[in-house]
Amino acid sequence: MLKLAVLASGRGSNLQALIDAIRMGELDAGIAGVFSDKAASGALAIARGAGVAAMHIDPKAYASRAAFDAALFAAVDASGAELIVCAGFMRILSPEVVAPRTSRMINIHPSLLPKYPGLHTHQRALDAGDREHGASVHAVIPALDAGPLIAQTRIAIEPGDSPERLAARLLPREHRLLVQVVRWIAEGRLRFDAQAVHFDERRLSEPLRVG
């Protein structure tokens, strides 16, 4: 069983998707801990409601970003997690904590990377007149949303879409994407590092597609 640590700052819908998949027997994994920089994070409430260890680590309690990152990942490592899942974690992590963990840390991002790293991805896709939008799971490296792409899901942008409507239509696909990627890792079919992604022992030249 693959042990997961989930990092989240917001409502925790991707965490809930992982918990649901585990409960339904669709994902051979366990959540060793949920970690958040926000005391009021919905993810922490979801974790506690599910009987999962949940920890708030307050950035304001540390003198520097590096000190916070060191404390956060000391707690993550102590949980025994084998895979670290960044699911709506809204802080940029320092290279010192990312670099040693690039082969076991993934992030889910609401755009078709390399388009639109960072924030406000739905609005940016609409402003650009894109006909398609989606979400990506990638390996985490010491650069924002720039690690090797693992898998993506895509939806058409419809007439009249607002950022809110686009986000709402994408979210269920985002959940399926994350669960599928974690399932492939748990099954031993998927491995990655800072340079490449391998699926069934084949190096990927483009991200996997998840419907």
Q: Which residues are catalytic?
A: 109
Closest CA to 46 of 37, 57, 35: 35
CA atoms within 13 A on the CB side of 99: 3
Tokens coding 23: 């409960």
Tell me how crowded residue 7 is: count the other CB atoms within 10 A of its CB: 27
Q: Is 45 exposed, middle or buried (0-12, 13-18, 19+ CB in 10 A)?
A: middle
Residue 5's DSSP bridge partners are: 33, 84
| Residue 55 structure tokens | 């920890």
Q: From CA 121, how far away is CA 167, in angstroms rounded?
A: 9
The neighbour count for residue 184, using CB atoms within 10 Å, is 18
Q: Which helix (H) or strand (E) holds 63?
A: none
CB 43 within 8 A of CB 6: yes
With a CB cutoff of 8 Å and minimum separation 6, the contacts of 119 are none
Contact 2, 35 (CB under 8 A): no
